[in-house]
Structure 1
Amino acid sequence: MPRYALKIEYEGGPFAGWQAQADQPSVQGAVETALARLDPGFAEGARIAAAGRTDAGVHATGQVAHADMQRAWDPFRLGEALNWHLKPAPVAILAVAPVDDDFHARFSALGRAYTFRLLARRAPATLDRGRVWQVLNPLDADAMREGARHLIGRHDFTTFRSSICQAKSPVKTLDRIDITAHAVPGGTEYRFHLAARSFLHNQVRSIVGTLERVGAGAWPPARVAEALAARSRAACGPVCPPDGLYLTGVSYDPMPFPPAPDDADASDAADAAAPRAACRDE
């Protein structure tokens, strides 16, 4: 059975998350329904696997999944056919590539990159409603960067882990947190770019919510280190909503898709994999 990797973009708002659920819409369900119109195996209940099982309301510009088809497809034609059958769901197949049988979208991944968008302005978000987390007052980006430095490296991230997280260990290696500020009409958008081999459940949203407290002046940057050392969920700042969170890139060796000219998010994920030759998360 030929195996194909799919690069997927979606708006998370209408979905209860990536993972298929019997009574709620999911991104996985939308893609599998489209595949069922093209392949008998999916009509009979075959499943796809993804690099990251994003939560309800979380978006993606670089999710990766793999699918086993019963016949060979030209990658371009498969992508076009899936996009036709995905209408009108806010899901798009950006690229399709044939891969070896041992490729697994989740277990073959070497790194993942997320971006979180935080809009600070008084006027309500209109064009980006549901796609950013909005606060009213400007933030101190330098203070947030200082606080973020305490989180880089290999740590026990129990403080920044959901109480329902199913990961075997809270120990993760966070390779990168870059925070950039961008002027927008009426305010500023802050973008948090995080990269690691893998993340705990709600880790990114917990980190961004904590750093927002630093940027707002409610926490000194050193308190981030104290929260991390506490290894207690009670020491975490507020968990921010999912609206601004995007899975932007997943890295593999070799990469299944040819690089796009401006595919910086995939590069972030690939860079995240590089330092882990001597320090891999288990």
Structure 2
Amino acid sequence: MRAFRIAYDGRPFYGFQRQLDVPTVEDALLDALETLDVLDPNADPGRGVRPIPPGYAAAGRTDAGVSALAQTVAFEAPEWLTPRALNGELPESIHAWAHADVPKSADTNDGAGASGDFHATHDAIRRRYVYQLYAPDANPELASEALGRIAGEHDFAALTTDDSGTVRTLATEFERAEPYLVLGVSAGGFPRHLVRRIASLVRIVATGERPPSFVDAVLDGSSDPVTDGVPTAAAEPLVLADVAYPDLEFVVDETAATDARAALAERSVRAATRARTIEQVSEGIASGGERSHEGEEQVE
């Protein structure tokens, strides 16, 4: 079994997990594997569900618009299937850049060992997300204090739509990169929307809308985050930055990684250009359109 590190720009997709009638990262991966003839020909996944490779699983499900640096998928792969080979069939928004061969277990009857009991979802011991929170008016010290109150073991039921699995132990990290607050959150697993709700909670405290004690009130249930203005933050600034496994050593495919960086850098330039274009339109509206006529010659 082989595990692949997958990076992607999540903006064009309706999340990672495959769905009917909308583009997803997983569908793009399975399209590539189908073209490479790696899907299990004997699989019968059921009506309306496409076949997958033997042993296939992914580290997690990212929401629509969420990007990834280290999404991890693992399955029984032929020896020739490298990140470069996989990238040859993937769109420019998705790139495999490293791989790890799953160690064979020593407890099989034939003594040869097998890796079929590895599961990319269940065997992950830590996941790390990073959120780029646009907050030019934020106080970094207040942001750091808010994250400090969030760190540790808590019941995060108030910050997720999940009904179970809400008690988690989180590690947090913080960096100020004007005009952003870069929020890092790590745990064994995450309830739905938790990191995006945390981003909203940090913003509210860091901008002075609420005192740091508001974090404690939300966590202990004495404040309702819905009625008290803690929405689910936007998905696009969120990145699945790392997934850790105790027995995997990933090897970077330098050619695949170089190509991935170049392709994603080009997408970044296009995104920045689109942002500047929208900014110009907004500035034009603010000035009543006067700037759009600057420098024009009078024509009779």
- Whether these two folds match at TM > 0.5 is yes
Aligned residues: 230
User: Which is strand-richer, 1 or 2?
Assistant: 1
Query: Residue type of the partner of 1:84?
Result: G
State yes or no: 1:251 paired with 2:244: yes
Distance of 2:40 and 2:82 partners within structure 1:
14
1:17–1:26 contact (8 Å) kept in structure 2 = yes
State yes or no: 1:224 paired with 2:215: yes
Aligned residue number for residue 6 of structure 1: 4
- Residue 236 of structure 1: CA displacement? 6.3
**TM-score, normalisation: structure 1:** 0.76
- Residue 42 of structure 1: CA displacement? 4.9
Q: Choose which of 186, 190, 199 in structure 1 pairs with 2:181.
A: 190
Counterparts of residues 256-267 of structure 1 (less than 5 Å): 256-258=249-251
Instruction: Tell me the SS of whatever aligns to 2:39.
Output: helix
- Residue 68 of structure 1: CA displacement? 2.3
1:159–1:230 contact (8 Å) kept in structure 2 = yes
Q: Choose which of 103, 106, 114 in structure 1 pairs with 2:121.
A: 106
- Residue 243 of structure 1: CA displacement? 1.0
Query: Residue type of the partner of 1:53?
Result: R
1:111–1:197 contact (8 Å) kept in structure 2 = yes
Distance of 1:37 and 1:4 partners within structure 2:
18
Aligned residue number for residue 171 of structure 1: 167
- Residue 255 of structure 1: CA displacement? 2.4
1:36–1:42 contact (8 Å) kept in structure 2 = no
Aligned residue number for residue 273 of structure 1: none
Q: Describe the superposition over 1:207-251 as per-residue Cα deviations: whole angstroms up to 9, x where unpaired.
A: 011110111110111111111111755356122100100000011
Q: Choose which of 64, 67, 76 in structure 1 pairs with 2:72.
A: 64
Query: Residue type of the partner of 1:107?
Result: H
**TM-score, normalisation: structure 2:** 0.72
Distance of 1:115 and 1:198 partners within structure 2:
14
Which structure has the larger Rg? 2
Aligned residue number for residue 151 of structure 1: 150
- Residue 258 of structure 1: CA displacement? 4.1
1:116–1:245 contact (8 Å) kept in structure 2 = yes
Instruction: Tell me the SS of whatever aligns to 1:230.
Output: coil
Distance of 2:38 and 2:82 partners within structure 1:
15
Aligned residue number for residue 46 of structure 1: 52
- Structure 1: state its 5+ residue gaps: 121-136, 261-282
State yes or no: 1:141 paired with 2:140: yes
Instruction: Tell me the SS of whatever aligns to 2:87.
Output: helix
1:159–1:236 contact (8 Å) kept in structure 2 = no
Q: Describe the superposition over 1:65-116 as per-residue Cα deviations: whole angstroms up to 9, x where unpaired.
A: 11223xx313xx521111010034x000011222122221110000000000
Aligned residue number for residue 268 of structure 1: none
- Structure 2: state its 5+ residue gaps: 44-50, 103-114, 254-300
Aligned residues with identical type, % of pairs: 31
1:32–1:42 contact (8 Å) kept in structure 2 = no
Query: Residue type of the partner of 2:79?
Result: W
Aligned residue number for residue 271 of structure 1: none
Distance of 2:83 and 2:251 partners within structure 1:
15
Runs of 4+ in 1 over 2 A off after TM superposition: 39-44, 231-236
Distance of 1:250 and 1:222 partners within structure 2:
32
Aligned residue number for residue 80 of structure 1: 84
Distance of 2:192 and 2:229 partners within structure 1:
14
RMSD: 2.1
- Residue 191 of structure 1: CA displacement? 0.4
Query: Residue type of the partner of 2:137?
Result: P
Distance of 1:95 and 1:177 partners within structure 2:
26
Distance of 2:180 and 2:225 partners within structure 1:
28
- Residue 178 of structure 1: CA displacement? 1.1
Distance of 2:39 and 2:199 partners within structure 1:
41
